[in-house]
Structure 1
């Protein structure tokens, strides 16, 4: 799908739960597939994984972001896919990565600025308010606190 230029930038972030706990090789395979698709469609982003939970951000043209997200929603390796934010952006936050990747342990989450436990009522309120500033603060903390696997 060739992208018309110029196009406005769009981003979408979601979280989901793994159908089963993936092995390191399965995570590597998933990352390889995500990077290939992102390169093909001009997307950048980051994929985070912790104890059976995924969080991913996609950035690019609105058409490409929604096309790939529709594929992600149909992927049987996870369920409970929940959109966290979906809208226009002025610039890419993850422009240097076709798909940055990080595996986090649960205890690493608690000290990150802006972190809300997904099981808390405050998390749902934050998502309902579509607080993309808090989301970007959280994701930036992930990227600066732990090394990204390229």
Structure 2
């Protein structure tokens, strides 16, 4: 099993109908494809982690490049993983009501800009957002 994590410039607003559609369609499609992952949306920013079989993971990543709802995809990292990091999420979702990426970076990386975030910082951020939702600390809406 492989994973990938990327950052892109979001062209749709978080919690908009267009963003909600991304999550609903991804949840359905990922279940069918055996993918799991997590998407975080902020004004002008997507961070997404996906994991699953490379046979479906990489073609999906290629299709994401032509998705008009975001631009400027930057691969933060990819590799193999022994077990799923987001096994309970066909496509988890958070936005700034759960956690703000820049604030998180300021706490853990001494005011690093979002464009400078590493793969491990982005992955840790998504894991913290997922944990906040799992624990009921934050409301996904």
The answer as to whether partners of 1:19 and 1:77 remain within 8 angstroms in 2 is: yes
Instruction: Tell whether 2:47 aligns with 1:55.
Output: yes
Q: Distance in 2 between matches of 1:135 and 1:20?
A: 20
Is it true that 1:118 corresponds to 2:105 in the alignment? no
Measured against aligned partners, the alpha-carbon deviations of 1:34-93 in whole angstroms (never above 9, x if no partner) come to 112211210000010011210111110112110111111110111001111111011111
Q: Compute the RMSD of aligned alpha carbons.
A: 2.6
Give the greater-gyration-radius structure (CA): 1
Map of 2:5 onto structure 1? 13
Q: TM-score if structure 1 supplies the norm length?
A: 0.75
Q: What is the TM-score normalised by the length of structure 2?
A: 0.79
Q: Which blocks of at least 5 consecutive residues in structure 1 are unaligned?
A: 1-8
**Residue of structure 1 in register with 2:30 after alignment:** 38
Residues 45, 56 of structure 1: 8 Å contact kept: yes
Task: Give distance in 2, aligned partners of 1:136 and 1:21.
Answer: 22
Q: Does 2:74 correspond to 1:86?
A: no
C-alpha spacing 1:143/1:18, structure 2 compared with 1 (3 Å): same
Q: How many residues align?
A: 133
